[in-house]
Every structure is written in C-alpha cells, then in structure tokens.
Amino acid sequence: MKENILITGAAGFIGFSLCKFLLTKDFNVIGFDNFNSYYDPSLKQARINELLKISNKNGQNFKIIKGDLKNSSQVNDIFKKFKPSKVVNLAAQAGVRYSLENPQAYVDSNLIGFCNLLESCRQNSVKNFIYASSSSVYGGNEIMPFSEDQSVDHPISLYAATKRSNELIAHTYSHLFNLPSIGLRFFTVYGPWGRPDMALFLFTKSILEKKPIKIFNNGNMKRDFTYIDDIVESIYRLLFKPATCDLSFSKKNPSTSTSWAPHRIFNIGNSMPTPLMEYINAIEDHLGIKAIKEYFPMQPGDVAETSSNNKALEEWIDFRPNTSISWGISEFISWYRSFYKI
C-alpha cells in the first residue's frame, strides 16, 4: 500500500513545493492549511490548483483539507480517517516583523496548533515527524556560521521564541513517547511560488512597478539564501531517515542538537551568505532594470547576518544545498513573469 503523508501548511510556499515533489513519487499526500490572510490567499489557492492539476494528470491521490491546527478535534479526525505514517509540519504563522503586530496569531498556530499536532502523532504512532524550525532561533549570536550546537536561549523576536519552543516541546514528546522527530532550521528560503512578504518577491514586484524598494540596516545585511528545491530534496531524504537516539550522547556534556531520545535538529542553508546589496544587484541584472532604493535602519527582531553550518545535515542524508544565487533568482523571475503575465 502507498504511504499516507500529511503535510500541514500545504498551501504555503515550502508546503506546496514539497507536496508537488511528492506527487511525482509513489505517495498519497494529504494537505492541510487554514488559508489565512497573512498574505494573498489567491496565491495559496493557485498553488493548490496546481497540485490538483498534477494529481489529476498523474492519477495520484492528493487531498486538501481546509482547517486550523488549533482545532484539536479536527486534527484528530484527520489522523483517524487517513492514518498518516509520516507527518511534515510546515504550518506556522510566519514573519518576524508581523509578530510585533499580531502576537496572538503566533501563539495560536506555532504553539497551540503545534501541540495539537504532536498529540495526534503520539496517539496514532506516527513513524516520522518532521517540523519547521527557523534560523531565527539563533537570535543575536555573532559566531558564524551558525552551528546546531550553539546556544539558542536568547531569541530576539516572538516568532523565534515560538520556533525554539517547538524544538523543546518536540524533544519532550520524543523522550516521553518515543516519537521520532526532526526540527529543521531553515535559512531564508526563496524560489518560484515564493512568499510575497519576503525580499525576493517584494523587490521584484517593486522594481517592475518602478516603485522604491526598502533596504534595512542601510544595506549592511547578509543572508544565507537557500533555494526551494534544495529544501525539498533535504526533506524528502529525511522522510526515509527518521531521528534516532544518539548513542554517544553525554548528559554530563549534552549536545543541543541530538539526544538520548529520537530527536534531531538540523540547519538547512546554502552555506554561502550573500550581502544584501549583491542579492539586489543580481535581481536588477536578471530584470534588466535598476531599483529605486530607499534605506532604513535595522528593524526590531531582525539580525544583520545569517550563515549556516550544514555539516550535520550532510552527514545524515548525504546531501547539501548547492544552488547558486544567480540561477535561483533567474528561476524565480521567470516564474513571476509567467504567473503574473508580465
């Protein structure tokens, strides 16, 4: 029998991309999303329409369920009906800056919803639980590149605090109920079908419309931009390699990314931090248009630089993200022009 895989946040950028990839494989995919209005719901619906089109064409089994993880009875019903053997939680209230405006959304989705999902995984003996954490958990750390064994006890945004909480709660479930779980610290994911609130989408839209782009910290930023296909390939490989107990774990000198319980934490980044102005120059080059630039100070909750050490991930799944910035931006702009008919 084909395995049932539950993907929460299926209408989101990473969730959609993972579902699309899995539909080329021999899986039944159950998508779950609340289609909230944090950004344009019509883009989310367009992603789902694309998945349904692929599913119908290939004769694959894809179902999309509209709901909210904070509704525990609805989550339980999904597990009873579909009995997923593996779960990938990509549902979360995203965005660092938005957490200053609407903190309750982060509590509802990233904490209450996350716990409801874990509880259903426990009750239904899920074999592999993978969930999205974030590079934001590194907060104000300044030692680069970020390693999973660095301290992450000083978050500087509510978003980051909820993601670190996810890691701690998941570890507890791994310990108490032997639930294999893997937390993934994503580093600035970009690519076709991306999120409209993120830099590449915002910059491309504004440059094409001849509107100014906002550049924070006066442009003195670096990001470990990671292409979506590299993220999807990593998750796909992790589906077949669930977390295991670290037999060399020492409680006298504890690792922060492994455990005596079946729980692991991995960075997923490109390991090539790119200056923001260099990123903008690449967008301008591919569009053939110069941006109108407006400079602003650092925003609350932001960090000046991110950089990922991927050694642990590479050793675990024999893969490391390697897509060049130039190629990734080119793919996004091609999609953007096609999708918006420009």
pLDDT of residue 99: 86
Give the model's pLDDT for residue 97.
81
Asked if 86 and 236 touch (Cβ cutoff 8 Å), the reply is no
Q: Report DSSP state, residue 204.
A: H
Q: Return the CATH number at 116.
A: 3.40.50.720
Residue 232 included in any domain: yes
Q: What is the pLDDT along the chain (342 residues), one digit of tens a residue?
A: 578 999 999 999 999 999 999 998 878 999 999 999 999 999 999 999 999 999 887 666 899 999 999 999 999 999 999 999 999 999 999 888 888 889 999 999 999 999 999 999 999 999 999 999 999 999 989 899 999 999 999 999 999 999 999 999 999 999 999 999 999 999 999 999 999 999 999 999 999 999 999 999 999 999 999 999 999 999 999 999 999 999 999 999 999 999 999 999 999 999 999 999 999 999 999 999 999 999 999 988 888 899 999 999 999 999 999 999 999 999 999 999 999 999
170 lies in some domain: yes
Q: Provide the pLDDT for residue 299.
A: 87
Q: Where would I find the beta strands (DSSP E) of the chain?
A: 3-8, 27-33, 62-66, 86-89, 128-132, 181-186, 189-190, 212-215, 222-223, 226-227, 263-268, 274-275, 292-295
Q: Do the domain assignments include residue 207?
A: no
How many structural domains does the chain have?
1
H or E stretch covering 139: none
Q: Is residue 159 situated within a structural domain?
A: yes
159 among known catalytic residues: yes
Question: Is residue 24 assigned to a domain?
Answer: yes
Residue type, 112: I
Q: Which domain holds residue 98?
A: 3-191+228-271+306-322
For residue 99, being part of any structural domain is answered with yes
Note whether residue 47 is domain-resident.
Answer: yes
Q: Angle between the 13-22 and 41-58 helix axes, to the nearest 10 degrees?
A: 0
Among 38, 39, 131, 159, which one carries the catalytic annotation?
A: 159
Q: How far apart are CA 240 and CA 238, in angstroms?
A: 5
Please list the residues that pair with 185 across neighbouring strands. Answer: 267
Give φ, ψ of 185 to 5 degrees. -90, 95
> What is the chain's percent helix, strand, coil content, to nearest 5?
45, 15, 40
Q: What is the pLDDT of residue 163?
A: 96
Contact indicator for 82, 4 with CB cutoff of 8 Å: yes
pLDDT recorded at residue 58:
64
**What pLDDT does 59 receive?**
63
Tell me if 240 is assigned to some domain.
yes
Length of the chain: 342
pTM of the model: 0.95
